[in-house]
Structure 1
C-alpha cells in the first residue's frame, strides 16, 4: 500500500508539472492516478489527501502548478467517492475554499463540490477522460455542446457538464416541452445509436453522458444520441410547439415503418 501511495504521489506531481513527465502524457498520468486509487479501496482517500496537500499553500516554482492541482481535484471528485470518514473533511476543505475572500479557486472548488455530490448520487464516472476532455478541463472548460436528435430530425444542442447524466438531458428536454410532472420523466429515454442505426441502446438514467461519448467514439465516430418517448400512459397535450412536433414526428415515423 505504501508503494501504491508513492506511485500516486509521483503521478500527481508529474501532472501538476513539478516532476518531469518523461514521455508520459496527462492522459497517461490521470489514468494511473484513477486506476491505482480505484484498485485499492481506501487509497482513494490517500489520493484526495495528497492533492489537497499539494494545493494548500503551494510553493511550487511552476506558475500553473496549483491550478493544475485543482483541475486534478475536479476530475477526481467526478470519478471516486471518498470514504464516509473522509467525506466531512473533504467537504469542509472545499467549502473553506469557496468561502475564502479573494481565493482564486473559488469557482473550481464549487464545481468540485457539485461533482462530489453527484458522485455519491450516481456512483462516479467510469470511462477515463480522453485527451480532448482533459485538454478542455486544463483550459478551464468544464462543459461541451452535445447534439441530441428528436424525432423528425429536430436537433437540440445541450450543455453537458463533466457529471451530467441521462436524467439531466431528459429533464431539460421535458422542461422545454412544458412537462413538469415527475411521472412524465419516466415516459422518455435517451438512446445511443451507432453504425447508422444498426445498434440502438437505451441509456440508464444514471449513466454519464461523457462516459457514453468516450465509449462510443472509438467504435463509431458518427454515433448519435436520440431522445424518444417510450411510454404513452399520460394524455397528450397541445399547448407546446416542440411537444406537438416531436410527438407527431415520432408517431408518423412509426406509421411509415
Structure 2
C-alpha cells in the first residue's frame, strides 16, 4: 500500500460526507466511528476525521451538496485544502473576504455578515437575505448618473439552506462573473445608527430604491404633490453633495429637475417621468441653495436616511404582474405590493386596494413553471385562508423567485408561519 493511501481515502471521505447522507440505520454507527477518530489526538488523520464528522452532520441537516465539484476544488481537497476565500459586498463600495468551508450554507453566512454590521439579534438577522448578481459592478458615481444600469442586473436570491459552494461552482462552470451581496429584504425592525458599516449598507440600499423610484408616491392623478416635490429636490441636492467637488460645482437647476423630479418610478409599476404640480427651474435652484446651505458633508447621510424612512412607501415593494387568477377566475390588471403589513393587490391607476391579505392568512406559497406554446411562464400560487374558505391566487410574473422568497421571509419574520424553515418555505 502506498504511504499516502490512507490519507487520500480520508480526504475522499470528506467529499462523500459533504454530498451523501447515510441511511438512518447506519447514521449512529458512522457518527460514532468518525467521533472516535476525531476525538483521539493520537490517531492519525484525526483532523480529517473531524472534517468528515462535521460534513456528515451538516449533510443530515441540509441534505448535502447538489452541484458536482469542479476540477480545481477536487485538486484542492486532494492536496488538503478545505477552505476558500470569497468576497461578500455589505455595501456598494465595501466588501469583506470570508472563509468558506465546502459545506457552508447561506444561513450561516448571513449570520456572519450581520455580525459585522452589529446585528446580533437572530430575529433581526432574519430580515436579511444573501443575493448574487452576474456581471461586473460599477462605481458609486456611475450609479448616480447612470442609475438605470442598476436595473439591468437582476438579483438572484439564495435560499437559506443552499450551499454557497454549489452556487459558486455553478457560476464557475458557466464561466460567469458573479458577486455576492447582503441585502435587507424585510423591514420590520427600525433603522439603527450604532455601526458605520450598517449605516453605509442601509444608505446604499435606500438610495438604490429611491433611484428606482419605488419609494415615490403620487396622488390619484399620478402627480407628485408639492410636499413630495420639495423633498425630492432636497434628496437630489443631498446626493450631489456626495459627489466629487467638480461634479457638485457643475450642478444647475435643470440638472436638479432632471435628476430629482423626473425620476422613473419603479419600472415594475408606472410609466417614466412623473408630472409635478408646481416646479420651475428657478424654484428648484432656490430649493437647492436653501437645502445645501450650512450642511456638512458628514451630515448628508443621516439627513437622507431620516427623510426616506418617513415616506409612506418606505419598505414597500411593487411588482407589475402578467396576470392573476383567483380560484380559476381571471382578475383585472393589478399591482402587487409586499410589506410588513401584508400582501395587497392595487388598481394600477388609482392605487386603490383591490384585495388585501395578512401573512397569518397565507397557508403556503408554491412556485411552478407553466409552458404555453413553447413559452415558459413562472407562477407563484398563494393558498390563503379566508372566512369563506381557502382561496388560491395564481400569480404569473417574471419575478416569481423574488416574490415567493419575500412572502416566505415575511411570513417567517412576522410570525405568520410557525415551525417552518424560511429556506424551504419557497421550494417547489
Same fold flag (TM > 0.5):
yes
Provide the secondary structure at the position in 1 that maps to 2:35.
helix
Name whichever structure is richer in helix by fraction: 1
Q: Which residue of 2 aligns with 1:117?
A: 57
Tell me how far 1:223 sits from its aligned partner.
1.4
Provide the secondary structure at the position in 2 that maps to 1:225.
strand
Q: Which residue of 2 aligns with 1:128?
A: 68
Tell me how far 1:101 sits from its aligned partner.
4.3
Tell me how far 1:256 sits from its aligned partner.
2.4
Q: Which residue of 1 aligns with 2:114?
A: 174
1:194, 1:220 within 8 Å by CA — same for their partners in 2? no
Tell me how far 1:151 sits from its aligned partner.
2.7
Q: 2: distance between equivalents of 1:150 and 1:174? A: 9
Unaligned 5+ segments in structure 2 are 137-151, 213-428
Q: Which residue of 2 aligns with 1:232?
A: 187
Q: Which residue of 2 aligns with 1:209?
A: 164
Q: Structure 1 residue runs of 4+, over 4 Å off?
A: none
Q: 2: distance between equivalents of 1:209 and 1:91? A: 24
Superposition map of 1:13-52 within 5 A: none
In structure 2, relative to structure 1, the CA distance for the partners of 1:194 and 1:101 (3 Å cut) is closer
Q: 1: distance between equivalents of 2:72 and 2:202? A: 35
Farther-moved stretch of structure 1 (74-83 vs 173-182):
173-182
Q: 2: distance between equivalents of 1:170 and 1:99? A: 30
1:198 aligns with 2:138: no
Q: Which residue of 1 aligns with 2:77?
A: 137
- Give 1 or 2 for the bigger CA radius of gyration: 2
Q: Which gives a bigger RCO, structure 1 or 2 (Cα 8 Å, sep 6+)?
A: 1
Q: 1: distance between equivalents of 2:173 and 2:41? A: 44
Superposition map of 1:73-152 within 5 A: 73-152=13-92
Unaligned 5+ segments in structure 1 are 1-59
2:88, 2:180 within 8 Å by CA — same for their partners in 1? yes
Which of 145, 153, 178 lines up with 1:223 in the alignment? 178
TM-score (norm 2): 0.45
Name whichever structure is richer in strand by fraction: 2
In structure 2, relative to structure 1, the CA distance for the partners of 1:198 and 1:235 (3 Å cut) is closer
Note the alpha carbon deviations across 1:219-251, whole angstroms, 9 max, x for none: 243111111111111011111111111111111
Note the alpha carbon deviations across 1:118-156, whole angstroms, 9 max, x for none: 101111001111111111111111110011122322111
In structure 2, relative to structure 1, the CA distance for the partners of 1:101 and 1:175 (3 Å cut) is closer
Provide the secondary structure at the position in 2 that maps to 1:217.
helix
Q: 2: distance between equivalents of 1:151 and 1:220? A: 25
Farther-moved stretch of structure 1 (218-227 vs 141-150):
218-227
Q: 2: distance between equivalents of 1:241 and 1:183? A: 21
